[in-house]
């Protein structure tokens, strides 16, 4: 028999608003892509901004937001999942071990998705944080020109053309590389989000917790079984 039921504040407005903003921003970015590039880019920046705040808050935030409160060992994570499958609830005030592992996985996948997206934006349009400056662009042009001139002294015009074409080929290869990596992690993030939703539903049902409500109100009803 459980005693001392009480309601406590677990998630601050920063975490709750950030969580739902991230949901909206990620799905908006995922489904816009090239058709609405400006919207895609700016929602990507929102995702990146939230990631920076969330990672910082993982070190300086309140108790249940800090990484130290929900990063568990693999044994602890598998133990929780085993108890979940056998319908032996384990209650945690903050993130449970499986939820904590999902948070880390999502943060990593979202971070790589955002960084590769910004890199691709720089390669394709020379815009964003990784865009090269006019001076750098001029320097690269001069370097290519010097290479072409040096080749022209020893070879004919066909050889010079080959150098220029090879330079263009490298750009295309870079574009393809970053595009494929960006799409890979965007799809991985989507898969993790779907697994996260399933996990929340299953955990809420078996552990008899209102996890979605807690992320809306910031409050949880707990008793002596919570750790």
- Give the pairing of strands 219-222 and 6-9: antiparallel
Structural contact between residues 9 and 93, judged by C-beta atoms closer than 8 angstroms: no
Q: What is the pTM of this model?
A: 0.81
User: Which range, of 61-75, 85-99, 105-119, 145-159, averages the lowest pLDDT?
Assistant: 145-159
First CA to last CA distance, the chain: 16
pLDDT at res. 116: 96
**Chain segment 19-50, per-residue pLDDT in tens:** 999 999 999 999 997 779 999 999 999 999 99
Using the structure block, give the residue that is written with the tokens 């039921």: 5
How far is it, in rounded angstroms, from Cα 19 to Cα 111?
Answer: 15
CA dihedral 7, 10, 16, 22 (to 10 degrees): -140
Q: Which domains does the chain have, with CATH numbers?
A: 6-125+172-222 (1.20.950.20)
Q: State the average pLDDT over residues 79-96.
A: 88
């Amino acid at each position: 028999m459980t005693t001392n039921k009480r309601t406590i504040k677990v998630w601050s407005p920063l975490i709750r608003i950030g969580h739902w903003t991230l949901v909206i921003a990620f799905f908006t970015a995922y489904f816009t892509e090239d058709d609405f590039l400006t919207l895609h880019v700016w929602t990507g920046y929102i995702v990146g901004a939230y990631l920076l705040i969330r990672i910082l808050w993982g070190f300086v935030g309140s108790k249940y937001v800090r990484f130290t409160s929900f990063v568990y060992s693999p044994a602890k994570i598998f133990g929780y999942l085993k108890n979940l499958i056998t319908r032996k609830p384990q209650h945690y005030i903050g993130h449970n071990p499986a939820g904590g592992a999902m948070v880390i996985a999502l943060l990593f996948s979202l971070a790589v998705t955002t960084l590769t997206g910004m890199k691709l934006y720089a390669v394709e349009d020379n815009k964003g944080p990784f865009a090269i400056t006019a001076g750098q662009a001029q320097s690269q042009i001069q370097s290519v020109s010097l290479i072409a001139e040096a080749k022209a002294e020893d070879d004919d015009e066909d050889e010079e053309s080959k150098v220029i074409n090879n330079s263009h080929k490298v750009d295309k290869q870079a574009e393809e590389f970053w595009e494929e990596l960006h799409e890979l992690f965007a799809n991985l993030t989507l898969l993790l989000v779907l697994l996260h939703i399933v996990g929340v539903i299953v955990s809420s049902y078996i552990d008899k917790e209102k996890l979605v409500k807690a992320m809306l109100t910031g409050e949880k009803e707990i008793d002596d079984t919570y750790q």
